[in-house]
Amino acid sequence: MLPVKIGAQRPHYLPDFYYFYKIFCSDNFLISDFLGFRKQSPIVRADFGDFFLTIPVLHHQGHPHPPINELKMVNQKIWRDKHLKTLKTRFNVLPYFEHYYPDLVDIFSRNQKSLNQFLQDIIIWQLKFILPDKNVLRSGGAGKQELF
């Protein structure tokens, strides 16, 4: 019997190649949304090399690293529109961009307040195209896991 490879990572905003490579190398992968949040981390900041996109979040007073699954985003249409406009401006020359962009518009227009749910929607959307057959679990709070 072969050993099972298990991977885990905090959710990231528009994760990069290495995030999905870690999922690819794992038999089972857990998105660890119960771990502590850190400002200016890939959890809320997508790094594209020459620019960043950062999700504004409401910070907890007195708790420096609250669990990711408890954080709320600043619920403003302004940052969502700015991120979509930036993504469209930078990537509309890539092949098939016009095919994927409506999905992004849909995710950004859901007007969710939960940072965790927003990140999971983005990751699920990316997994659908990159690794559709992988087992990816997310914590569901209170120690339970749910399959994407």
Confidence of residue 111 (pLDDT cuts 50, 70, 90): confident
User: What residues does each domain of the chain span?
Assistant: 6-147
Cβ(79)–Cβ(57) below 8 Å: no
**Mean per-residue pLDDT of the chain:** 88
What 3-state class would DSSP assign to 128? helix
For residue 26, pLDDT beyond 60: yes
Segment 13-25 shows an average pLDDT of: 94
CB-CB contact of 8 with 29 (8 Å): yes
Mean pLDDT of 41-58: 94
Structure confidence at residue 147 (pLDDT)? 57
In the numeric block, the tokens 């950062």 are attached to 54
Task: Give start and end residues of each alpha helix (H) in the chain.
Answer: 17-25, 77-91, 97-108, 115-130
Instruction: Decide which of 36 and 86 is more confident.
Output: 86
Over residues 113-145, the pLDDT tens digits come to 899 999 999 999 999 989 888 888 877 555 455
Angle at 106 between CA 104 and CA 109, to 5 degrees: 105
pLDDT at 18: 93
Q: Average the pLDDT over 41-46 and give the result.
A: 95
pLDDT, residue 136, reads 86
> Residue 145 has what pLDDT?
52
Q: In this predicted model, what pLDDT tens digit does every residue of 55-108 receive, in sequence order?
A: 999 876 777 788 898 899 997 889 999 999 999 999 999 999 999 999 999 999
